[in-house]
Amino acid sequence: MALFKNKQENLDLLQGHITTTLLQLALPIMTTGFIQMAYSLADVFWLCRVESGLVAAGTCGIVLWMCDGFSSLTKVGAEVKTAHCLGRKEGEEARANAVISLQSTFLIGALICLIFCGAYQAIIGFFHFQNQHTVQAAETYLKIVGFGLPFAFVGRTLSVISMANGNSKMPFLVNTLGLVANIILDPLLIFVLDLGVAGAAYATAFSQITVCIVMFIFLRKQAAFRHLHLCRRFSGRLLLQNLKLGYPVALQTILVSMVAMGITRIVNNFAEAAIAAQRLGVQIESLSWLTAESFGGALTAMVAQNYAAMKMQRTYNVIKRSLWLIIGLGSCITLILYFYPHILLGIFTSETDVLHYGTEYLRIISYSQVFMCLEIIIAAVYNAFGRTKFPAVVGVLCTALRIPVAMYLSSFYGTAGIWWALTICTILHSFIMIAIIVLTLSRMKSEYGLT
């Protein structure tokens, strides 16, 4: 308890050394992102030892990714609008926005849970698996994890609210608690109690519920949210404001996940080992995009507060330094994925076919990692400005290209063609985003006389 109590300090995002403040805010968020990745990798580590476990859980992961897009309807507004209110010193409005975000996020999660309960067979049937054991395992995993979705959504929203307030240490500590619970429960439920795939699902759901409850308790210990009450009157005005900010990001996330589902069906034309390798490769690749998204979360909070406070020179400098920092991080991850794929994959599996397809995937996809990191960071900047439509539209158009490009290239190069399609579309997406951010920064510099 004392450890949590000592971590309630909030950073002042409007003052102080930019790089130091940004890193102090970003590092706990990035570590939290790694913890979320570790959640998935812990499941992968054990499920690789269960028949059809990796394919089943990995496939459900794509479905859950799509569902996470619906949580973005309110999660984006929870961070951006709360940060804007705090930057303008509007404490009561910030609390009201936090409440409506949490209320609506829980309702979205509960609705998706009900859909999973009634339509899990149709959802898994979309992937056309030939192995009946894989179908049964995926249906079981999806039903159980669905019960934890409302709490998972609320937990993430609580985290971004805390980050908007300049406190990223608390989400890190609470998510660490959830990871420890997941690591302990996975082998216990999967093997000791012999629950198999269902055991991994129960462990994940329990961990998410734990994180949600503990995070809410300690968010209320922060001065800005000390009087946060979830039973206050539902505000349609604030909900509409949040939806306006969140719907472009939500639509983009949903489309990207739907494209990922389509890619999985294309991969399914080759071998189940290729699907297992792709799902394992995606989990390892998440080292890159989770790092960028976590860093982007810190950047959104910092830019949003300074932009709302009209500190344009500081806003400009924060954006420039963030771009250079993420290039360095993305380059390091590129080198790791390209030169050490066997080592990374070997932690989880020793199957020759999975190692072959997985190595092919990681080496090809490594070429796009710096570009993907830049694209995520630039989108975070526009989200902080409240201009969420632009990055979403570009993302939707470039993501939609993946399916036809993958179908075309796979007809010549097999699975390698699919991986190259993902890489090419990511680089194209990044080039467009880079061109636009350069123009935006030039306009800011000219309009406000920045140096």
Domain parsing of the chain, residue ranges: 2-6+16-448
pLDDT of residue 2: 45
Q: Taking residues 3-15, report their average pLDDT.
A: 64
> What is the residue-wise DSSP string for 360-396?
HHHHHHHTTHHHHHHHHHHHHHHHHTT--HHHHHHHH
352-366 vs 272-308: helix crossing angle, rounded to 10: 30
Alpha-carbon distance values, 7 to 13, 21, 38, 161 (Å): 17, 16, 22, 16
pLDDT of residue 6: 46
pLDDT of residue 104: 92
Task: Tell me the pLDDT band of 235, cut-offs 50, 70 and 90.
Answer: confident
pLDDT of 426 over the 80 cut: yes
pLDDT of residue 11: 79
pLDDT of 24 over the 70 cut: yes
pLDDT of 340 over the 60 cut: yes
SS3 236: helix
Phi, psi dihedrals of residue 440, rounded to the nearest 5° = -65, -45
Are the C-beta atoms of residues 207 and 224 closer than 8 Å to each other?
no
pLDDT of 42 over the 60 cut: yes
pLDDT of residue 54: 65
* Cα diameter, the chain: 66
Which tens digit of pLDDT belongs to each residue from 68-115?
888 888 888 888 888 888 888 888 888 888 889 999 999 999 999 999
Q: Taking residues 148-171, report their average pLDDT.
A: 89
Contacts of residues 130-138 at CB distance under 8 Å and 24 or more positions apart, as own/partner, are 130/272, 131/52, 131/272, 133/51, 133/52, 134/52, 134/55, 134/56, 134/272, 137/50, 137/51, 137/52, 137/53, 137/55, 137/56, 137/57, 137/196, 137/197, 138/55, 138/56, 138/57, 138/59, 138/60
Number of Cα atoms under 13 Å in the Cβ half of residue 148:
23
pLDDT of 277 over the 80 cut: yes
pLDDT of residue 39: 63
pLDDT of residue 1: 46
DSSP 8-state code for residue 11: -
DSSP 8-state code for residue 225: G
Query: What share of the chain has pLDDT > 90, as a percent?
Result: 31
Any residues with CB less than 8 A from the CB of 78 and at least 6 apart, and which?
97, 98, 101, 102, 105, 157, 160, 161, 164, 242
Mean pLDDT for the chain overall: 86
pTM value? 0.76
pLDDT of 215 over the 50 cut: yes
Q: Taking residues 47-51, report their average pLDDT.
A: 68
pLDDT of 4 over the 50 cut: no
Which tens digit of pLDDT belongs to each residue from 365-383?
999 999 999 999 999 999 9
Which tens digit of pLDDT belongs to each residue from 310-324?
899 999 999 999 999
pLDDT of residue 51: 63
SS3 166: coil
